[in-house]
Amino acid sequence: MAGKILATYEYTPAKVEKGYAGKTLYINLSDMTIKEKPVTEKMKELFVGGRGFGLWYLWNAVSSDTKWNDPENEIIIAGGPICGITQYPGSGKAAVVTLSPLTGCPMDNNVGGYFAPLLKFSGWDALEIQGKSDRDVIVFIDGNRGKVVIEDASDEPADTHLLAEKLTERYADSEEDKRNISVVSSGKGAENTLIGMLNVSFYDVKRKAVRVKQAGRGGSGTVFRDKKIKAIVVKYKGVTGDSNNPADKEKIINAALRLHKEIFELDKLQNRMREVGTANLVEVMNDYDLLPVMNFQYGSHPDANRITSKVFREKYFTQNVPDNCWYGCSLSCAKAVDNYEVKTGPYKGQKVCVDAAEYETIAAVAANCGIFDPEYVIEANFYCDTYGLDTISFGNIVGFAMECYERGIINKEITGGLELKFGNADAALELLHQMAKGEGFGKIAGQGVKRLREYILEKTGADAKLLRDISMEIKGLEVSMYVSKESLAQQGGYAFANKGPQHDEAWLIFMDMVNKQIPTFEDKAEALHYFPIFRTWFSLQGLCKLPWNDIVPADNAMTDEPHKIPAHVQNYVDLFNGVTGKNITKEELLLQSERVFNFQRIFNLKMGKGTREYDMPPFRLLGPATKEEYESRAERYDKQLKELGYDIEGKTTEEKMAMLRQYRESQFEKLTDAVYKRRGWNKNGVPTLETVKKLGIDFPDVVELIAKYQE
Amino acid sequence: MKIVKSRPDLCTGCGACMIACSKVLYKVEDPDKSAIRIKERPGAESGYDIFVCNHCGKCISICSVEAIYKAKNGAVRIDAEKCVGCYMCVGFCPEQAMFVHKDINEPIKCIACGACVRACPTGAIYLEEQD
């Protein structure tokens, strides 16, 4: 029966001390168990919080044989000790960890919205959900009353724009109370594909609208719906600047005021995040030939000027509203389009507020599919969000299918009549609706690029090598939106990334290709050691990466290591010490991350992957995979070959492509060796015993596991 | 409404204004809890800078929780109940006239009461009518 209470749990909310509530809320949906688990000092010491806690719980919950849709799989949502402070920009993030349906390995996402801070102030450092319900449920956590309820949600809609608004209305006592509610939800698309994502809401008091941020990558929403969760709702009233009960508030305030002032003075001169958000990257990437166009074949397009931040700024983004996804984020990059009238599909004619559009979404759903129409971007963005689909994977799937269609590898018989030519926005949207319904070609395409490739191979007997070269996935996850062909360091950044090719682990293109700051293999290996580790830290703490380097101090260029933004690294040391009362150095900050980073790598190994062979990219990530790509930039590639000493006189494009490929693949192998060595891994990409000992993660099961892979 | 204006050349740095202000706002005599601040002019032999709110209202749109508002008398005020203590308004104040204290959740801000002017022995601050 809808609305029926299936389980209730009453508790005394723990008071947050120095950034920790000290407890985890554990729910098993198979038998409706609800209980608390202690957050131990050892957990804090070794895994800190956020992604670290998520990986630790998941490690203990699953075996090497566990599949994503087994009841043992978990979804863990956790902020981290810094999460929830209101003073420093970007401090409300949640890490989401689960076994991914796309990769079979642990997936981590770092998502905004109010969920993680309100969860902590309700007395929980982490939420750990295991098991599978036999009917749709809503989990409601009331942090003021100290009550957790699991309700039957059979009659509730699945799609986020309906559900998050309905539940915000239902659980808030008044309009004023809505900001104390955050909803995690997904949608119908997550039920019928493997690319489902999670939306995390917050209430925008000025727009009077429910807004959503996404834990986008790797199918977390698919796991969520497989467990029959429609929504998780947290309610907590009473957030102040002291809710995290920090040890030394002055340290936090001083860092925060420095950054607020920097943003006030410099953002308008630097990235204009407050004005246009990440959309500013569309024009930058197009100018540097780095914007994925038509399934990553090209890096720019003359029509890209139709989807730049200028267009969104002038025609679509609503301005002068607080576009932060947690209190105190003066960088405020979360742009939105108000009163958008939906043009297609089941919600045609509705007027909606769309959280649109981020750079990644614009590049994926539009440029990568050869579509240059801003209203299509908003439409696709709206539907991906409400259906619970990852825009990056969606754009990759459509781009890949379109290329296969244009090359004659697939036809209308395979696509169910869809004319999947580059630029066909109607066909892309139709495919999106099919994915959500689990019908037609959408049902196959919704399995992701890797499985779509396997399907096409089986159905058509196409050239397997070509298909691998042009299918932009590694470890089963689709590549995020940067062309890495001319940056060896970025190729590694994508290929070695623990969860799969997402740029949050390493974004080195400008350092490498544009500014030439890391010319040698050793330099690149150092960068691919330092940055992935440093960037992991944000997801242990409940922090956003953007206020680290999307705003820099005026004198940053004068520092010894400008690409590290030393002043902001010091801010983070101050924040951690200010919250926890500890006294770490920046070296110890890195050690916290390095430990979790290596643990995640070893977790991949536990799941039967995590070795060198799984770090191999499709060739298109390294260079021109087809004749069209080579010839479109023939001058560049010819010049490179000549400089390398190749005799290209009278050679055909195919011959030159073979030379370039041989060279680039050998470079990638050398890079792999150098990076593994720097990270303390063996040649097979497995951390050595010495490395795990140094990091203090030499638990018996870890040692036993990696021992099998030592040379 | 009347706002506080200054003639820094008349300021002797006695700090009476800050004592008076903190008394009105927080019932303590503590310059660190004052909404007007007198600071020695950096790099100069002598002289003081006076930082005080002119009620321009630019902070109103900066606030994401609608805690800052224009009161009926024209003064820009903070609703302490709504404020989450994020201090974006402090960093974005063009007059650098909003302040923080670790024991106080909301920013410390002038309410245009005139207590500082009454306490000033030299006339370095005064009230002036503003539209």
Look at residue A320 and tell me whether its pLDDT is greater than 70. Answer: no
Average pLDDT, chain A: 97
Report yes or no: B79 at the A interface, CB cutoff 8 Å.
no
pLDDT score, position A159: 98
* Contact check, Cβ <8 Å, B87/A256: yes
Measure A166 CA to nearest chain B CA, in Å: 21
Report yes or no: A174 at the B interface, CB cutoff 8 Å.
no
Chain A partners within 8 Å of B85 (Cβ)? 86-87, 240-242
pLDDT score, position A113: 98
Q: Is residue B131 part of a domain?
A: no
Helix/strand/coil for A122: coil
Q: Nearest-CA residue of chain A relative to B90?
A: A257
Chain B partners within 8 Å of A239 (Cβ)? 84
Interatomic CA distance for residues A630 and A272, integer angstroms? 35
pLDDT score, position A139: 98
Measure A575 CA to nearest chain B CA, in Å: 14
* Contact check, Cβ <8 Å, B105/A241: yes
* Among the partner residues B64, B66, B91, nearest to A327 by beta-carbon distance: B64
What is the longest distance spanned by two Cα atoms in chain B?
43
Q: Of A93, A169, A251, A257, which Cα lies nearest the Cα of A574?
A: A251
* Contact check, Cβ <8 Å, A87/B66: no
Report yes or no: B61 at the A interface, CB cutoff 8 Å.
yes
Report yes or no: B24 at the A interface, CB cutoff 8 Å.
no
Give the pLDDT band (50/70/90) at residue B42. confident
* Contact check, Cβ <8 Å, A330/B62: yes
A463: CB partners within 8 A, 6+ apart: none
User: DSSP secondary structure string, A428-450?
Assistant: HHHHHHHHHHT-HHHHHHTT-HH
Show the domain range for B58.
Answer: 2-126
**Which helix (DSSP H) or strand (DSSP E) does residue A51 occupy?**
helix A51-61
Q: For residues A226-238, give the mean pLDDT.
A: 98
Q: Of A37, A215, A237, A224, which Cα lies nearest the Cα of A138?
A: A224
Interatomic CA distance for residues A490 and A513, integer angstroms? 9
pLDDT tens digits for A182-194?
Answer: 999 999 999 999 9
% residues pLDDT > 90 (chain A): 98
Report yes or no: A37 at the B interface, CB cutoff 8 Å.
no
Report yes or no: B26 at the A interface, CB cutoff 8 Å.
no
Interatomic CA distance for residues A252 and A257, integer angstroms? 9
Q: Is residue B115 part of a domain?
A: yes
Strand partners, B128: B3
Give the pLDDT band (50/70/90) at residue A3. confident
Report yes or no: A259 at the B interface, CB cutoff 8 Å.
yes
pLDDT tens digits for A412-432?
Answer: 999 999 999 999 999 999 999
Report yes or no: B40 at the A interface, CB cutoff 8 Å.
no
Q: For residues A478-499, give the mean pLDDT.
A: 98
* Among the partner residues A242, A257, A327, nearest to B65 by beta-carbon distance: A327
Which CA distances in Å does A655 have to A109, A414, A494, A519? 42, 33, 28, 28
Report yes or no: A205 at the B interface, CB cutoff 8 Å.
yes
Report yes or no: B90 at the A interface, CB cutoff 8 Å.
yes
Backbone angles phi, psi at A5, to 5 degrees: -80, 125
Average pLDDT, chain B: 95
Radius of gyration of chain B (CA): 14
pLDDT tens digits for A429-480?
Answer: 999 999 999 999 999 999 999 999 999 999 998 999 999 999 999 999 999 9
Q: Nearest-CA residue of chain B relative to A332?
A: B64
The lowest-confidence range among A129-143, A445-459, A504-518 is A504-518
Look at residue A288 and tell me whether its pLDDT is greater than 70. Answer: yes
Domains of chain A: 5-235 (3.60.9.10), 267-478 (1.10.569.10), 488-707 (1.10.599.10)
A171: CB partners within 8 A, 6+ apart: A140, A181, A233, A235
ipTM: 0.95
Q: Of A27, A17, A282, which Cα lies nearest the Cα of A131?
A: A27
* Among the partner residues B63, B85, B88, nearest to A260 by beta-carbon distance: B88
Q: Of A683, A665, A674, which Cα lies nearest the Cα of A621?
A: A665
Provide the chain A residues 638-657 that lie in CB contact (below 8 A) with chain B.
none
* Contact check, Cβ <8 Å, B84/A327: yes
Look at residue A72 and tell me whether its pLDDT is greater than 90. Answer: yes
Interatomic CA distance for residues A672 and A612, integer angstroms? 8
* Among the partner residues A240, A250, A261, nearest to B102 by beta-carbon distance: A250
* Domain count within chain B: 1
Interatomic CA distance for residues A370 and A421, integer angstroms? 9
Chain A partners within 8 Å of B86 (Cβ)? 86-87, 241, 327-328
Give the pLDDT band (50/70/90) at residue A322. low
* Whether the Cβ atoms of residue A11 and residue A36 lie closer than 8 Å to each other: yes
Q: For residues A544-555, give the mean pLDDT.
A: 97
Report yes or no: A208 at the B interface, CB cutoff 8 Å.
no
Q: Is residue B45 part of a domain?
A: yes
Give the pLDDT band (50/70/90) at residue B43. confident
Q: Nearest-CA residue of chain A relative to B80?
A: A240
CATH of residue B72: 3.30.70.20
* Among the partner residues B66, B84, B90, nearest to A86 by beta-carbon distance: B84
pLDDT score, position A1: 63
Q: Is residue B62 part of a domain?
A: yes
Look at residue A2 and tell me whether its pLDDT is greater than 90. Answer: no
pLDDT tens digits for A24-67?
Answer: 999 999 999 999 999 999 999 999 999 999 999 999 999 999 99
* Among the partner residues A240, A261, A332, nearest to B91 by beta-carbon distance: A261
* Among the partner residues A239, A261, A264, nearest to B84 by beta-carbon distance: A239
pLDDT tens digits for A600-635?
Answer: 999 999 999 999 999 999 999 999 999 999 999 999
Interatomic CA distance for residues A444 and A446, integer angstroms? 5
Q: Nearest-CA residue of chain B relative to A242?
A: B105
Q: For residues A518-539, give the mean pLDDT.
A: 97
Taking CB atoms and an 8 Å cut-off, how many pairs form between chains A and B? 63
pLDDT score, position A375: 97
Report yes or no: B60 at the A interface, CB cutoff 8 Å.
no
